[in-house]
């Protein structure tokens, strides 16, 4: 017969077992509380709809955008149907901003430490005012004074104020085919070509007191190849024959950079005070007296850049 020591409630084994049970209970309680808090947080976020205050556009929309851009993206992209906890939400927001009329490019979209979704944007900027007829206005609305703003890519922009329109270079293109929605490029390539001429002139536009680019449907000055002939009109109503579109010059025609350089060089000799007649040609930039070596050298450089 063997002697066995009975285990009592105050024995070391019992006390150790009790402590283990207490620690286990505490651990399970802590895990339960943490799990509940996580579940509660996720459940709460899953029930929170995406609203404009949860999105931050960077930088802030510029002054020429009068509408609430973020709110428009929320509505147009149906972002209010998405929750903050939804997987892939950032991609959805990125795509929604890409489709907005005033957004030229979405550089990135990401959730910041504040919990907001930050979206870095490049905005479209009014670059020129295109004169249109009533039947040319997009179906979405009316143009101020028959003018529509376009950006530097020829994209049709929503209405801006009359004062802002009047500060922009003017483009005239007879019977241009209009897009049906703002945010779309004009279908008529002459619009983009006119924009490119304005861009090529750069600061010279104001220095030369230019007013408009005219791209008639039937060129006033015909050429043997019947290419569109663009004209400039200054504020004194003198005509300047520009010639072909930028990058599409004829073999004997100076390049855009040469035309601009000539105008800048001769600016002091051009009449600016006396109003001219609408049919009075001030200068024809297609027929500049450039020396053959100068013309050939510049054209060779341009051809090398464009791969022609």
Say whether pLDDT at 40 is over 80.
Answer: no
Residue 161: the pLDDT is 87
Query: In whole numbers, what is the pLDDT of the chain averaged over residues?
Result: 79
Say whether pLDDT at 10 is over 80.
Answer: no
Contact 256, 216 (CB under 8 A): no
Residue 254: the pLDDT is 94
Residue 61: the pLDDT is 95
The CA distance from 17 to 20, in Å, is 5
CA dihedral 217, 221, 226, 228 (to 10 degrees): -50
Residue tagged 């929503």 (tokens): 158
Say whether pLDDT at 203 is over 50.
Answer: yes
Contacts of 49 (CB under 8 A, 6+ apart): 80, 81, 82, 83
Residue 18: the pLDDT is 67
The CA distance from 76 to 96, in Å, is 8
The CA distance from 293 to 300, in Å, is 10
Say whether pLDDT at 223 is over 60.
Answer: no
- 146 sits in which H/E element: none
> Taking each helix axis from N to C terminus, what angle separates 189-201 and 256-265, rounded to the nearest 10 degrees?
50
Q: What is the mean pLDDT of residues 67-86?
A: 90
Residue 126: the pLDDT is 96
Q: What is the DSSP string of 215-273?
A: --SS-SS--TT----EEEEETT--EEEEESPTT---TTSPPHHHHHHHHHHTGGGS--S
Question: Considering the chain, what percentage of its residues have pLDDT values greater than 90?
Answer: 44
Going by the DSSP 8-state scheme, the letter that residue 102 receives in this structure is: T
Structural domains in the chain? 52-123 (3.10.20), 128-306 (no CATH)
Residue 191: the pLDDT is 93
pLDDT band for position 45 (cuts 50, 70, 90):
very low
For residue 89, give the 3-state DSSP assignment.
helix
Return the higher-pLDDT residue of 302 and 66.
Answer: 66
Say whether pLDDT at 183 is over 80.
Answer: yes
Return the higher-pLDDT residue of 293 and 259.
Answer: 259
Task: Report the candidate in 285, 260, 127, 153 with the shortest Cα–Cα distance to residue 204.
Answer: 260
Residue 107: the pLDDT is 97
- Helix boundaries (H) for 119-252: 162-166, 189-201, 204-207
Q: What is the mean pLDDT of residues 63-78?
A: 93
Residue 306: the pLDDT is 45
Residue 274: the pLDDT is 60
Least confident residue range of 45-54, 62-71, 205-214, 248-257: 45-54
- 304 sits in which H/E element: helix 292-306
Return the higher-pLDDT residue of 142 and 67.
Answer: 67
Say whether pLDDT at 305 is over 80.
Answer: no
Residue 56: the pLDDT is 94
The CA distance from 205 to 70, in Å, is 34
Residue 20: the pLDDT is 73
Task: Report the candidate in 75, 73, 64 with the shortest Cα–Cα distance to residue 159.
Answer: 64
pLDDT band for position 219 (cuts 50, 70, 90):
very low
Provide the whole-model pTM. Answer: 0.73
Task: List pLDDT tens digits, range 92-117.
Answer: 999 999 999 999 999 999 988 888 89
Residue tagged 């104020």 (tokens): 161
Task: Report the candidate in 89, 121, 87 with the shortest Cα–Cα distance to residue 104.
Answer: 121
Say whether pLDDT at 43 is over 50.
Answer: no
């Amino acid at each position: 017969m063997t002697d066995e020591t009975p285990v009592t409630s105050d024995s070391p084994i019992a006390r150790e077992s009790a402590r283990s049970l207490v620690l286990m209970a505490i651990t399970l309680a802590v895990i339960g509380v943490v799990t509940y808090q996580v579940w509660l947080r996720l459940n709460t976020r899953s029930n929170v709809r995406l609203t404009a205050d949860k999105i931050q556009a960077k930088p802030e929309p510029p002054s020429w955008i009068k509408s609430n851009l973020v709110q428009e993206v929320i509505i147009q992209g149906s972002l209010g149907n998405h929750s903050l906890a939804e997987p892939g939400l950032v991609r959805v927001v990125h795509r929604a901003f890409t489709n907005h009329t005033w957004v030229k490019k979405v550089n990135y979209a990401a959730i910041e430490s504040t919990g907001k979704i930050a979206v870095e944007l490049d905005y479209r900027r009014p670059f020129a005012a295109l004169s249109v007829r009533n039947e040319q206005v997009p179906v979405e609305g009316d143009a101020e004074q028959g003018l529509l703003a376009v950006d530097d890519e020829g994209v049709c922009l929503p209405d801006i104020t009359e004062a802002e329109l009047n500060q922009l270079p003017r483009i005239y293109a007879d019977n241009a085919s209009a897009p049906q929605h703002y945010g779309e490029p004009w279908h008529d390539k002459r619009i983009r070509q006119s924009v490119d001429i304005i861009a090529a002139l750069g600061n010279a536009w104001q220095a030369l007191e230019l007013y408009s680019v005219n791209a008639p449907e039937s060129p006033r000055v015909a050429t043997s190849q019947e290419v569109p002939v663009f004209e400039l009109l200054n504020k004194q109503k003198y005509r300047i024959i520009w010639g072909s579109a930028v990058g599409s010059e004829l073999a004997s025609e100076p390049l855009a950079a040469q035309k601009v350089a000539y105008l800048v060089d001769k600016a002091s000799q051009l009449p600016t005070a006396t109003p001219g007649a609408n049919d009075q040609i001030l200068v024809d930039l297609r027929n500049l007296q450039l020396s053959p070596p100068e013309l050939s050298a510049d054209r060779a450089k341009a051809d090398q850049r464009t791969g022609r």
